Amino acid sequence: MLKKLILVVGARPNFMKVAPLIRESSRTYKDSFQPVLVHTGQHYDPEMSETFFRDLEIPTPDYNLEVGSATHSVQTARIMERFEPVCEKENPDCVVVFGDVNSTLACTLVAVKNHIPVAHVEAGLRSFDRSMPEEVNRVVTDVLSEYLFTPDKGSDQNLLNEGISPERIYRVGDIMVDALYWERKRAVHSQILASLGLGENVSYGVVTLHRAGNVDDSEILKRLVDILVAASEKCLLIFPVHPRTRDRLKSFHLLNKLLNTSRNDGKGIILTKPVGYRDFLKLIIDSEFVMTDSGGIQKETTVLGIPCLTLRSVTEWPVTVSHGTNRLLGNFPSVEGVVKNISDLLEKKVKNDVVLPELWDGKTSERILNVLSEKL
Domains of the chain (ranges, CATH numbers): 3-174+359-375 (3.40.50.2000), 185-346 (3.40.50.2000)
Question: Rounded distance, CA 324 to CA 151, Å?
Answer: 15
* Active-site residue, 43 included: no
pLDDT number for residue 54? 83
pLDDT number for residue 348? 82
pLDDT number for residue 114? 98
Nearest to 320 by CA among 297, 293, 288, 349: 297
Taking phi first (over 0 means left), then psi (-120 to 50 degrees means alpha), and beta for anything else, what does residue 268 get? left
Catalytic annotation, pick one of 115, 210, 242, 323: 210
Residue 29's Cβ-count burial label (10 Å; 0-12, 13-18, 19+) is: buried
Question: Rounded distance, CA 107 to CA 77, Å?
Answer: 10
Question: Rounded distance, CA 121 to CA 300, Å?
Answer: 17
Establish how many alpha carbons lie within 13 A of residue 2's alpha carbon, considering only the half-sphere containing its beta carbon.
14
Taking the model in full, what pTM does it have?
0.93
SS (H, E, C) the chain: CCEEEEEEECCHHHHHHHHHHHHHHHHCCCCCEEEEEEECCCCCCHHHHHHHHHHHCCCCCCEECCCCCCCHHHHHHHHHHHHHHHHHHHCCCEEEEECCCHHHHHHHHHHHHCCCCEEEECCCCCCCCCCCHHHHHHHHHHHHCCEEEECCHHHHHHHHHCCCCHHHEEECCCHHHHHHHHHHHHHCCCCHHHHCCCCCCCCEEEECCCCHHHHCCHHHHHHHHHHHHHHCCCCEEEEECCHHHHHHHHHCCCHHHHHCCCCCCCCCEEEECCCCHHHHHHHHHCCCEEEECCHHHHHHHHHHCCCEEECCCCCCCCHHHHCCCEEECCCCCCHHHHHHHHHHHHCCCCCCCCCCCCCCCCCHHHHHHHHHHHHC
pLDDT number for residue 13? 85
pLDDT number for residue 52? 78
pLDDT by residue for the chain (376 residues), tens only, comes to: 899 999 999 988 899 999 999 999 999 999 999 999 999 998 766 666 677 788 888 999 999 999 988 899 999 999 999 999 999 999 999 999 999 999 999 999 999 999 999 999 999 999 999 989 999 999 999 999 999 999 999 999 999 999 999 999 999 999 999 999 999 999 999 999 999 999 888 999 999 999 988 999 999 999 999 999 999 999 999 999 998 899 999 999 999 999 987 776 779 999 999 998 999 999 999 999 999 999 999 999 999 999 999 999 999 999 999 999 999 999 889 999 999 999 999 988 776 778 888 999 999 999 999 999 999 9
pLDDT number for residue 156? 98
The residues pairing with 95 across neighbouring beta strands, listed in sequence order, are 6, 118
